[in-house]
Structure 1
Amino acid sequence: MNDGAHPRRWLVLGLCCSALFVVSMDNTVLNVALPGIRRDLHASVEQLQWVVDAYVLVLASFLMLAGAVADRVGRRRLLRVGLALFTAGSALCSVASDLHWLVAFRMLQAVGGAMLNPVAMSILTVTFTDPGERARAIGWWGAVAGVSMTAGPVVGGALVEAAGWRAVFLVNLPVGIAAWLLTGRWVPESRAAVPRRLDPAGQILVVVLLASTTYALIDFTALGSTEAAVLGCAAVAVSALGALLVVESRRAEPLVELSLFRSRPFVGANITAVCAFAALYGFLFTTTIYLQVQQGLSALQAGLALVPMAAMGLVCAPVSGRMLAARGAMAPLLVSGTTMTASGLLLAVGNAEASVVERCVAFVLFGIGFGFVNAPVTHTAVSGLPHARAGVAAAFAATSRQVGSMLGVAITGTAVANGSLTTAWSIVALFCATSLAAGLIGSAHSSHKTRFRRPGLGLHTRVRHSMVGGRIAVDVSEDIDEGAG
C-alpha cells in the first residue's frame, strides 16, 4: 500500500468517472431521440445537426481552456461549476419549447461539460500518486468512456420509448446533483504549482474557426454553395486559421502549441482521432435516421438494433489495450481502420435494401473497429513527446475527438438532408479509410529528431524517437539556446 496516497482515492475515481459518464454518453444517447425531436419541434435535418453539433462545437472549443483555468482557480472548484452548469443545462433542455431554445440550452450543457473531462483527469493524476494505481485508475477511466459512448444508443432508445425524448436529458439530473454534492464532500482541492498563462486571443480564434467551419458545412445544403453566408463563413474560417497560426507562434505559452505538430506520431494520432470520431458520429446520425424514418422502427427497436455495435465496442476496447502493450500501436490501428472501412462500404453498397443480417454484420464490424481505436490514438499522441508535453498532447487529442464528432455530423448530415443515405455511408467509409491511413503513417517505422522550444528559459528540448510498429523509444536531451538572452 502507498502510505502517502489519498485515503479515499477510489471514491474520487468513482466521482470523476460519473462526471465523465454523463458527458460522454450525452451525444450518443441523444441520437435515437432525434426523430422524436424532429417530429415534436417540427425540425429539419439541418436543425437536427445543430442539436448535436452545437454541443460538440462548444465542447471542442473550451476543453483546453478549462484545463488551464482549473490549474489556476482550483480543480475541484471548476469541476463543481461544470457539474452545476451541465445539470442546469440538462434540466433546461428537457423543457425546451422550440428548436432554438434547445440548441441554446445544449450549448450551456457543453460549457459545463468542457469543464468535466480534462479537469477530472487532472484530479485523478494528482490523487493517484502511485504509478501502478494511477495506471489502473486511468484504465477504469477509459473503460467508463467506452461504456458510456457505446451504450448510449441502447439507453437512449429505452428512455425515449418509456418517457419520450425529453427523458434523455432528465436522466442526467440525479447523476449530476449527486456528483456535485459528493464532489464537494470527498474530492480534494488542488492547483498547479506554476499554472499556464491564459491565451484569450488564441481561444477566441479557435471558437471562430470551429463555429464558422461548422456553420458553412451544415448550411451548405440549406442555402446553396454560392450563398453569401456560406462563402462568408468559409472565408472567416480560413482567416481565423491563418491568424491562429500567426498569433500562437508568437506566444510564450500558447493555447495551441504549434511545436507539437513537428512530431509525426502526434500529427498522425490526431488525424486518426478526428476521422475515427467523424466516422462514429456520422454513422450514428445516419443510421438513426435510416432505422427510424426509413425502416419505421421505434426508438427502442433502433437502440436494440445497435446492440451488436455497442457490444463489440465494449469487448474490443480492453483487447486493444492488451494488443497495444504486446505489439505496439500499428496492429490495433490496422484492425480498427480495416473493419470500420468495411462496415461503411457494406452499408453504402446495401443502402436501404440491406437485409437485417447485412446490417448486423456492418454494425458488428463498426463496433470492432471503434473498440480498437482509442487506446492506440492516445498512446501514439503522447509517446513521441517529452513528458512535459504529455498533458497538452492528451488535451489536444481529446479536442481532436470532439472536432471529428462535429465534422462527422455536419458532413454526413448534408448528405442525409439531400436524401442520399448511400452518400452518407460512403462518407463514413472515407473517414474510416483516412483514419486507417493516418494511423499507419503515424505509427510506421521511423527515427528522427523533433525539437521543442521552452520559452523564457533559453532552453530547447530535443527529442529523438524511434518507432517500429507503434513501439516508441524516446531519447530526450536539452541544450542552451545560443540566441537566448
Structure 2
Amino acid sequence: MWKNVFFDSVGRMKARSTVGRATSGAVVTAFLCLILLKVRISGFSYILLSMQQDLGFSRDSANSLEFTPSAAGLLVVFVAGALSDRWGPRRMLAIGITLFIIGAVIVGLAPNLIWIVIGRILDGIGIVTIAIVALSLINTTVTDPGKRARVFGFYAAATPAVFMLAPPVTALIVETAGWRAVLIFWVVLGLITLVAMLRYVPKSTTRAGGEMVTPLLAGAVLAGASLSIISLATSDDFAVFAAAIAVVALFALIVIMRRSATTTLDFRWCRGRGLIILVVALCVASMPDLFFYTNMLLQYRYSVPIVFIALLLVVPQGFAVVGGLLSGPVSARIGPAKAAQIALLVSAVTCLATLFVTPDAPIWVPVLVLSVIAVPTLFLVGPITNTFLSRAPAESSGAAASINKAAGNIGGVFGGALVGALSFAAYQNRMAGILNADGLPFPEAELIAGEIRGGAAVAEVAARISDPVAKDALVSMGPGLLDAQSYSYAVVGLVSAGLFLAGAVLMFFYLRRSTSPSDVGAGHVSPR
C-alpha cells in the first residue's frame, strides 16, 4: 500500500511541475509579445526622419504614418478579443505575430509611401491583436491573487525597461546601417516570439461563435472618433468625415444590439458593481503623458543631439522600472484597486514638480522632474490593469483585454487632444503677452505667436517683418521663449495632476461600490 501512496505522490508532483512549466512558458511568451509591441512603438519615431528623406514624402505624410497603425488597430480591437475567446490565444497570437512580421517586411522593402502605408496597416492590426491576446493569456493563466500582483508588476516594469534599451539601439542601427536594417531587427524579434508561442502556448478547443458585425462596428466607432479628434488640428474636412463614420457605425451598432437577442459583442458583465466607473478611471488614467511632453521640451529647448536625449531619458525610464516592480508586492499586500488609487493620488502630487522647471533651468532639472513623476505613474499600470481584468468572467477574458486596450487608446487620444490644446494655447498666449509688453499691439503679437507655435523659427518670422518694433521684439525674444516653454510645461503638469486626481476620485467611488475581495480586483472571478 505504501508503494501506491508513494507513486501517487510522485505522480502529483510531476503533474504540478508540468503545469508550472506550462504556466511559466505561457507567461514568458506573453511578455515576449509585449516586448515586441514596445520595441515597435518606441523605435518608429527614430526611423521616420531617415525614411522620409530616403523616399521623399512630405512632413504631412510622415505625420499620417504615426496614426495609421492606431486607426487600423482600433478597427479590430474588439474582433481580436472576440476571436481570442472563440479560437484560443495560440491561433490568434499566430495571426497577430504573422501580420506584424509581414507588415515589417513590407515596410523594410517599401519602394514608396503607398507600400509603407500598407505595411503599417498590417503592422497595426497585428500589434493590437498581439497586445490584447497577450494580456488575455496572462489573465487566464495566472489566477492566484499574489502571483497575479507580481506578474502585473513585472508587466508594468517591462514598458520602461524596453524604452530604456530600444531607442538607443534603434538610433545606433539607423546611424550605422540605415533605417531598413531596423526592420530586420523587428522581424527577427517577431520570429523569436512566434517560435516561443508555438512551443509554450497550448492548443485550445474551438468554441462556437456568432456574428462578427458588432465587434467590427464597435471598432469603427472608436477608429472614427479617434481619427476625428486627431485630425482637428490639420484637416477639418477629414475630421468631419471620420466623425460621420463613427456616428453611422454607432447608430448601426445600437440598432443591431437592441434588436438581437444575442450578439458577439457583449458588455453585460460590465454592469457588475462599479465596473463602468473602473472603465472611466482607466480612460482618465491613460490621458496624461509626461514622457512625451518632457521629450518635446528637451528637443525644443536644449541644443543637444536626439541620440543624447534618448540616452538621457534612460534615467527616468529606470525610475519607472522601479515603480513597476514595486507595484507587485504592494498590490499583493493591500489589493490592486487600493494600490491603483494611491498611485493616482501620488501621481497627481508629483506632477506639480513641473513648476520647478524655470526658464533658466539646466537640462538635468526636467529629467529629474520626470524621474520623480515616473515612479507612481508606472506603478499605476499593473494594479489598475489587474483590477479590471480580474473582474472579467473566464470566458470573456479576450473581450476584457479588448476593453482595457480600447480604454487606454481612447484615453491617450482624448488626453493628447486636451493636454496638447491647453499647453500649446498657454504657450501662444504667453508669447503674445510678452510681445505685447514689448510694444506690439496684441492682435499682431497673437498672430506672430501663432506662427511660432506652428513651428516657424523666430529668425524666419523676423526676416519677413518690416515693422522695426516687431522685429526688435522678436530679436530679443530668446528669454521670452524660455519663459513661454516653462509656462506651457507647467500647464501640462497642472492638467495632468487634475486628471490623475479625477482618476483617484473615480477609484474612491469604485472601492465604495465594490465590497467583496473579487470586486476590488483581488483575484479572478467566475461568471456571474
TM-score of Structure 1 vs Structure 2, range by shorter chain: 0.7 to 0.9
Matched residue of 1:355: which SS? Answer: coil
Aligned amino acid, residue 221 of structure 1: A
Separation (CA, whole Å) in 1 of partners of 2:105 and 2:119: 9
Q: Deviations over 1:392-439 (max 9, x none)?
A: 334311331233344455666677774596658745753553243134
Structure 2-normalised TM-score?
0.71
Structure 1 match to 2:400: 393
Contact 1:72–1:195 under 8 Å retained in 2: yes
Structure 2 match to 1:217: 229
1:162–1:179: structure 2 CA closer, same or farther, 3 Å change rule? closer
Query: Where do 1:195-234 residues align within 5 Å?
Result: 195-200=208-213, 202-223=214-235, 227-234=236-243
Q: In the TM superposition, what is the alpha-carbon distance from 1:80 to its structure 2 partner?
A: 1.9
Structure 1 match to 2:193: 179
Separation (CA, whole Å) in 1 of partners of 2:241 and 2:109: 34
Of residues 83, 86, 94, the one that matches 2:100 is: 86
Does 2:334 match 1:327?
Answer: yes
Structure 2 match to 1:440: 505
Matched residue of 2:29: which SS? Answer: helix
Q: Deviations over 1:360-379 (max 9, x none)?
A: 23211331132221233123
Does 2:109 match 1:109?
Answer: no
Structure 2 match to 1:374: 381
Q: In the TM superposition, what is the alpha-carbon distance from 1:317 to its structure 2 partner?
A: 1.4
Structure 2 match to 1:276: 285
Contact 2:82–2:398 under 8 Å retained in 1: no
Structure 1 match to 2:15: 3
1:162–1:424: structure 2 CA closer, same or farther, 3 Å change rule? same
Contact 1:83–1:116 under 8 Å retained in 2: yes
Structure 1 match to 2:438: none
Q: In the TM superposition, what is the alpha-carbon distance from 1:179 to its structure 2 partner?
A: 2.7
Does 2:17 match 1:13?
Answer: no
Q: Deviations over 1:194-228 (max 9, x none)?
A: 4443431x2332232223223322222223xxx44
Separation (CA, whole Å) in 1 of partners of 2:56 and 2:125: 26
1:59–1:253: structure 2 CA closer, same or farther, 3 Å change rule? farther
Contact 1:17–1:144 under 8 Å retained in 2: yes
Separation (CA, whole Å) in 1 of partners of 2:454 and 2:348: 23
1:190–1:324: structure 2 CA closer, same or farther, 3 Å change rule? same
1:258–1:140: structure 2 CA closer, same or farther, 3 Å change rule? closer
Aligned length: 453
Aligned amino acid, residue 388 of structure 2: A
CA RMSD of aligned residues (A): 4.0
Contact 2:343–2:380 under 8 Å retained in 1: yes
Q: In the TM superposition, what is the alpha-carbon distance from 1:445 to its structure 2 partner?
A: 6.8
Does 2:274 match 1:265?
Answer: yes
Aligned amino acid, residue 222 of structure 2: L
Worse overlay, 232-241 or 36-45: 36-45
Matched residue of 2:304: which SS? Answer: coil
Separation (CA, whole Å) in 2 of partners of 1:137 and 1:467: 14
Separation (CA, whole Å) in 2 of partners of 1:364 and 1:203: 39
Does 2:253 match 1:244?
Answer: yes
Structure 2 match to 1:188: 202
1:300–1:199: structure 2 CA closer, same or farther, 3 Å change rule? same
Separation (CA, whole Å) in 2 of partners of 1:257 and 1:365: 40
Structure 2 match to 1:161: 172
Report which of the two structures shows the higher radius of gyration computed on alpha carbons.
Answer: 2
Worse overlay, 107-116 or 393-402: 393-402
Q: In the TM superposition, what is the alpha-carbon distance from 1:318 to its structure 2 partner?
A: 2.7
Identity across the alignment (%): 20
Structure 2 match to 1:453: none
Aligned amino acid, residue 55 of structure 1: P
Contact 1:68–1:197 under 8 Å retained in 2: no
Q: Deviations over 1:57-76 (max 9, x none)?
A: 33333233223224444532
Contact 2:107–2:120 under 8 Å retained in 1: yes
Q: Deviations over 1:225-273 (max 9, x none)?
A: xx44333433443443344344334444445434345346323332233
Matched residue of 1:257: which SS? Answer: coil
Contact 1:35–1:292 under 8 Å retained in 2: no
Aligned amino acid, residue 438 of structure 1: G
Q: In the TM superposition, what is the alpha-carbon distance from 1:336 to its structure 2 partner?
A: 3.1
1:371–1:347: structure 2 CA closer, same or farther, 3 Å change rule? same
Matched residue of 1:171: which SS? Answer: helix
1:270–1:199: structure 2 CA closer, same or farther, 3 Å change rule? same
Contact 1:285–1:409 under 8 Å retained in 2: no
Matched residue of 2:509: which SS? Answer: coil
Aligned amino acid, residue 442 of structure 1: M
Matched residue of 2:321: which SS? Answer: helix
1:208–1:398: structure 2 CA closer, same or farther, 3 Å change rule? closer
Matched residue of 1:3: which SS? Answer: helix
Separation (CA, whole Å) in 1 of partners of 2:381 and 2:282: 8
Separation (CA, whole Å) in 2 of partners of 1:332 and 1:412: 25
Q: In the TM superposition, what is the alpha-carbon distance from 1:109 to its structure 2 partner?
A: 0.8
Structure 1-normalised TM-score?
0.77
Separation (CA, whole Å) in 1 of partners of 2:392 and 2:94: 32
1:308–1:360: structure 2 CA closer, same or farther, 3 Å change rule? same
Contact 1:49–1:410 under 8 Å retained in 2: no
Worse overlay, 294-303 or 424-433: 424-433
Instruction: Identify unmatched segments of 5+ residues in structure 1.
Output: 449-463, 479-485
Structure 2 match to 1:308: 315
Q: In the TM superposition, what is the alpha-carbon distance from 1:316 to its structure 2 partner?
A: 1.2
1:351–1:392: structure 2 CA closer, same or farther, 3 Å change rule? farther
Aligned amino acid, residue 62 of structure 1: V
Separation (CA, whole Å) in 2 of partners of 1:245 and 1:320: 39
Q: In the TM superposition, what is the alpha-carbon distance from 1:87 to its structure 2 partner?
A: 1.4
1:230–1:29: structure 2 CA closer, same or farther, 3 Å change rule? same
Contact 2:38–2:162 under 8 Å retained in 1: no
Aligned amino acid, residue 107 of structure 1: I
Q: In the TM superposition, what is the alpha-carbon distance from 1:22 to its structure 2 partner?
A: 0.2
Separation (CA, whole Å) in 2 of partners of 1:346 and 1:40: 41
Q: In the TM superposition, what is the alpha-carbon distance from 1:314 to its structure 2 partner?
A: 1.0
Separation (CA, whole Å) in 1 of partners of 2:57 and 2:301: 17
Of residues 44, 53, 57, the one that matches 2:71 is: 57
Instruction: Identify unmatched segments of 5+ residues in structure 2.
Output: 1-12, 425-452, 456-483
Separation (CA, whole Å) in 1 of partners of 2:525 and 2:202: 35
Q: In the TM superposition, what is the alpha-carbon distance from 1:294 to its structure 2 partner?
A: 4.5
Aligned amino acid, residue 257 of structure 2: E
Contact 2:82–2:265 under 8 Å retained in 1: no
